Amino acid sequence: MKPRHIFLPVFVIIATIFMGSCHDMKRKTDLIIYNARIFTNDHIDTTVDCIAIKKGIIYLVGKDAEIRSRYWAKEYINAKKSVVYPGFIDAHSHFTGYAKFLRYANLTNAASFEEVIDILVDFRKTHPDGWLVGRGWDQNKWDVKQFPDNKKLNELFPTTPVVITRVDGHALLANNAAIKAAGINLNDESSQIHKINGVSTGIFLETIADKIRESIPEPSEAEMKILLNTAANLCYAAGLTAVTDAGINKNEVLRLNEMQQNGKLAMHIDVWLNPNEENINYFVKQDIKLSNRALRVKAIKLYADGALGSRGACLKMPYSDASGNVGIQVTSSAELEKICKIAYTYGYQVNTHAIGDSAVGLVLRTYSKFLKPGNDRRWRVEHAQVVAPNDISLFGKFNIIPSIQTTHATSDMPWAKLRLGSKREKYAYAYQDLLKQNSWLANGTDFPIERIDPLFTFYSAVSRKDHYGNPPDGYQMENALTRLQALKSMTCWAAKSAFNEGEVGEIIKGKIASFTILDKDILTIPEKEILDAKVLYTIIDGKIVYKVK
């Protein structure tokens, strides 16, 4: 027996030397990101530079030397002093709509209606079949800032239905073939049919525009899945780890769920249901529990009005540049209240589009019939672009969450004064005032209306300037966000606006390992460098979904 005791220490020493060089002495994780600057809570914490991830969850955040001496990983990222933020979230976007838009002619950069026509003619050469569809035109960017008409489209495309949607999605131009195919009655007296001297121009607004769009043939199921994947990849490259699908239907929700469950879609998605009967009966009343950590189906989307650019936003007093016109309330007050009641009863969140001060006031008052002070329902007002000074305190009083898109302020600033006049403009895009109401708010892009890039959102929030640095002093700077507020609005506050704050939005142990890694610290670099910051990696559930080339 004795010799064994002599040999044992020798064996232990040899084994230690041998095993110390392999992984067995260390504990296993899936991914270690080291040599990083890490945003924890509210600053770049220089005392931590390493994150270990296991099963998609943040396992450790700490010092490189300590973590790597005790843990190994299947995969490592040497961050080379780049900055790791909680994964960027878009708190208001139309993910499925964006995917569908990817198959349409992109008119966003057209500087005139003639250019729109040129793009459509070119697009037709490579897309010769079926309807000709385009999106993103904006007459406010043209020399002639009037709505276009469909004469040229009728001449060029007498038998092909052509539909081109305005940048805000609330107005479109259709040619006669499309109007006929959609079964629109031009004798209708609706204000949603734009007419000059009693004759339709081909411009349609709001629900009639929706009806025309619904006539556009849908892509096949296989094509739709490819489009969703392309959309997701574009979002990852922009640094997004979670998005919103702000108003979709049953088959679209089930498709997203199926793709996620089959490992075909890594993107986390907060789904808002359109308030149609099928959605209400299937999801809300039957309490179908689809929600998991990648998908949330617990909100209903409502629309109170249209958009400011197409004068559909509902104002208390007429537009300053269209006498007598106060915009369009797109859902009746009774219907808004009916859906709110269903949502309240079944524990659903309500997120209502309201842009003009009249619509915002209406939504706040409708919500206040259900919500009690101190509630945590997080019912939201989407956009909240023009808020009457007398109404703003209702956000705080009833814990109603403003959901803003900071790029809207900088996109609209060239013409907002025309629509609103200078007195009302002061109360528009008042993000700092809105933030004060509950001490937090949600921020997004409303893509495809704006670009998907969260860095644009961040830049416009803090600078209130366009990408050329204008106006040099910023637009209504009293309502700019600080850098920290802007970052929170697209990370932890955006998470909170979808009841996800327990899972994402911060880099701490136990949360989901979703990160956006940038080459620069956007909290401290000079303002003009923010737009040059590069996304190096996007990580969702501990998996690299994007890596810069």
Residues contributing to the site for Zn ion (CB under 5 A): 246, 446
Nearer to Zn ion among residue 412 and residue 446 (C-beta): 446
- Name the helix (H) or strand (E) containing 334: helix 333-346
- Largest Cα separation within the chain, whole Å, is 112
Q: In whole angstroms, how close is the CB of 279 to Zn ion at the nearest point?
A: 17
Q: Which two tokens stand for residue 427?
A: 């109360």
Q: In whole angstroms, how close is the CB of 343 to Zn ion at the nearest point?
A: 18
Count Cα atoms within 13 angstroms, Cβ side, for 63: 4
Residue 516, strand partner residues: 85, 538
Tell me which residue has its CB nearest to Zn ion.
446
Q: In whole angstroms, how close is the CB of 442 to Zn ion at the nearest point?
A: 12
Nearer to Zn ion among residue 446 and residue 453 (C-beta): 446
- Give, in order, the Cα–Cα distances in Å from 345 to each of 174, 270, 337: 41, 20, 12
Nearer to Zn ion among residue 216 and residue 246 (C-beta): 246
Q: In whole angstroms, how close is the CB of 462 to Zn ion at the nearest point?
A: 23
- Asked if 50 contacts 67 with a C-beta cutoff of 8 angstroms, the reply is yes
Give the integer Cα–Cα distance in Å for 236 and 21: 37
Nearer to Zn ion among residue 446 and residue 503 (C-beta): 446
Q: Is the peptide bond before 471 cis (omega within 30 degrees of 0)?
A: yes
Helix boundaries (H) for 39-175: 64-70, 95-101, 113-126, 151-156
Q: In whole angstroms, how close is the CB of 44 to Zn ion at the nearest point?
A: 32
Q: In whole angstroms, how close is the CB of 262 to Zn ion at the nearest point?
A: 28
Q: In whole angstroms, how close is the CB of 303 to Zn ion at the nearest point?
A: 9
Q: In whole angstroms, how close is the CB of 38 to Zn ion at the nearest point?
A: 33
- Asked if 136 contacts 108 with a C-beta cutoff of 8 angstroms, the reply is yes
Nearer to Zn ion among residue 362 and residue 523 (C-beta): 362
**Phi, psi of 48, deg, nearest 5:** -125, 140
Q: In whole angstroms, how close is the CB of 158 to Zn ion at the nearest point?
A: 34
Q: Residue 99: which residues within 8 A CB-CB, separation 6 or more?
A: 224, 227, 228, 230, 231
Give the integer Cα–Cα distance in Å for 83 and 326: 47
Nearer to Zn ion among residue 96 and residue 329 (C-beta): 96
Nearer to Zn ion among residue 214 and residue 376 (C-beta): 214
- Name the helix (H) or strand (E) containing 261: helix 250-261
Nearer to Zn ion among residue 403 and residue 500 (C-beta): 403
Nearer to Zn ion among residue 298 and residue 465 (C-beta): 298
Taken in order 318, 319, 325, 327, is the CA torsion positive or negative?
Answer: negative
